[in-house]
């Protein structure tokens, strides 16, 4: 059953240019789609022709439409999915990551045991190759030392430690045993089918196709420009926002909302910030393709000035309305708000509970609005931001002037 009032399941995986898990996942998706579109569904090895086939690419795109968001690291997904099924229904992970979650080693204790699904079509072994180069610059002494190290790593004592960490031992003298067991959600007798690794040029083409088959996103960056952001805070926030934009794929649509005493959205039609009126959003262009609008939005971030009170709740509630008004019903896109705030709400007409209610109502949409709060500095209202994050099944990201750039770079990988 799908939790709550949702109309679809949620899926997540990492970036195939960064994560080997994601690359294997994407190759497996191409295998599945190619078999669906092939006269011979039992073919053994994925080909370049199949990867370039528009029908196969559309099949992968259909799978990717279930994505809630992406990430550069499995670390994010391990922490998020441990919160329970409201966040994701299934995620592509290595077996040892699932064991890690079920052992309660994440920040959150999972409310129920997660279970590994081994695709009947097949999956991949993620091995750790080790080789001694046959080259003139390798001495006999180095070659002998490498062989000693190989024997040490493959020895029973080390291989038992490997097993304890949730990896399958390579030494046949060490049986596959706990923690690779059903009580931790994994099956020691699986996988029953292993996919063949495609030729290198095919793998490279799968990666190259990523920007065309991945789920695109509409992203509103919502920045606190109240008086408490003065000085180094706003300058570091601008630098962090620039880094956030650096990681944005060209096909995504982006927009900018700022808030002090009142929220304002940047209108690309008039090239100015305007106050948000839900009744007149049809004439406002709040989102543009990043490829075409990035210079404009970067200029606006650079020119930001601070002053006034903090209308945090109004900003989030109105940003959700902006996203909904800008939504193209023909497109299936991630809908997300990344909100950076350094203080408590002091001027909103909207209450915290009303913000939570609006987010909860959005969950009934096929692509609900994801709100990712960033607590900036020690004065941020962590309790309020946690309430907002929980209602959106996300979590608060914390940053300060020293690390805010790194925090926003990680979040940019979600899209």
Q: Which domains does the chain have, with CATH numbers?
A: 11-120+192-211 (no CATH), 134-177 (no CATH), 216-412 (3.40.50.410)
Please give the Cα distance from 329 to 334 (Å, whole number). Answer: 12
The CB-side HSE value for 272 (13 A sphere, CA atoms) comes to: 3
Say what the pLDDT of residue 42 is: 85
With a pLDDT cut of 90, the percent of the chain lying above it is 60
Please give the Cα distance from 340 to 306 (Å, whole number). Answer: 14
Give the residue ranges of the chain where pLDDT is below 70: 1-7, 329-330
| Backbone torsions φ then ψ of 164, nearest 5 degrees | -60, -25
Please give the Cα distance from 303 to 75 (Å, whole number). Answer: 35
Asked if residue 186 lies in contact with residue 167, where contact means CB atoms within 8 angstroms, the answer is: no
Alpha-helical regions (H) of 65-139:
74-81, 95-102
Give DSSP secondary structure letters for 288-356.
Answer: EEHHHHHHHHHHHHHT----S---HHHHHHHHHHHHHHH--TT---EEEEEEEE-S---S-SS-HHHHH
Say what the pLDDT of residue 365 is: 77
Please give the Cα distance from 289 to 286 (Å, whole number). Answer: 10
| Backbone torsions φ then ψ of 387, nearest 5 degrees | -60, -45
Instruction: For the beta carbon of residue 236, count every other beta carbon within 10 angstroms.
Output: 20
Token pair 């809630």 in the structure block, residue:
68
- Rounded to two decimals, the pTM is 0.86
């Amino acid at each position: 059953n799908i939790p709550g009032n949702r109309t679809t399941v949620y899926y997540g995986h990492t970036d195939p240019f960064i994560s080997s898990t994601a690359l294997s996942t994407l190759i497996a998706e191409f295998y599945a789609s190619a078999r669906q579109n092939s006269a011979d569904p039992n073919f053994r090895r994925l080909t370049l022709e199949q990867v370039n086939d528009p029908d196969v690419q559309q099949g992968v795109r259909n799978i990717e439409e279930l994505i809630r968001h992406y990430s550069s690291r499995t670390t994010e997904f391990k922490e998020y999915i441990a919160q329970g099924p409201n966040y994701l229904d299934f995620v592509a992970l290595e077996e040892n990551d699932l064991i890690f979650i079920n052992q309660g080693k994440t920040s959150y204790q999972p409310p129920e045991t997660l279970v590994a699904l081994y695709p009947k079509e097949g999956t991949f072994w993620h091995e750790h190759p080790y080789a001694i180069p046959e080259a003139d610059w390798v001495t006999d002494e180095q070659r002998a030392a490498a062989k000693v190290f190989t024997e040490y790593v493959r020895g029973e004592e080390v291989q038992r430690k490997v097993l304890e960490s949730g990896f399958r031992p390579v030494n046949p003298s060490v049986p596959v045993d706990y923690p690779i067991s059903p009580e931790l959600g994994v099956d020691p007798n699986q996988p029953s089918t292993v996919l063949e690794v495609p030729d290198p040029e095919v793998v490279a083409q799968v990666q190259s196709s990523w920007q065309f088959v991945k789920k695109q996103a509409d992203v509103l960056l919502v920045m606190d420009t109240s008086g408490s952001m003065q000085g180094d805070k706003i300058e570091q926030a601008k630098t962090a926002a620039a880094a956030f934009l650096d990681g944005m794929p060209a096909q995504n649509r982006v927009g900018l909302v700022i808030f002090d005493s009142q929220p304002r959205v940047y209108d690309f039609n008039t090239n100015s910030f305007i106050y948000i009126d839900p009744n007149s959003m049809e004439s406002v262009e709040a989102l543009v393709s990043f490829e075409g609008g990035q210079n404009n939005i970067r200029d606006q971030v650079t020119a930001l000035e601070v002053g006034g009170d903090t209308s945090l709740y109004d900003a989030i509630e109105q940003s959700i309305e902006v996203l909904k008004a800008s939504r193209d019903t023909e497109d299936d896109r991630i809908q997300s708000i990344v909100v950076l705030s350094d203080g408590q709400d002091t001027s909103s007409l909207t209450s915290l509970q009303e913000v939570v209610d609006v987010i909860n109502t959005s969950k009934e949409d096929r692509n609900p609005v994801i709100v990712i709060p960033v607590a900036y500095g020690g004065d941020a209202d962590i309790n309020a931001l946690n309430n907002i994050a929980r209602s959106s099944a996300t979590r608060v990201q914390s940053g300060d002037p020293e690390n805010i750039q790194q925090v926003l770079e990680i979040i940019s990988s979600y899209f």
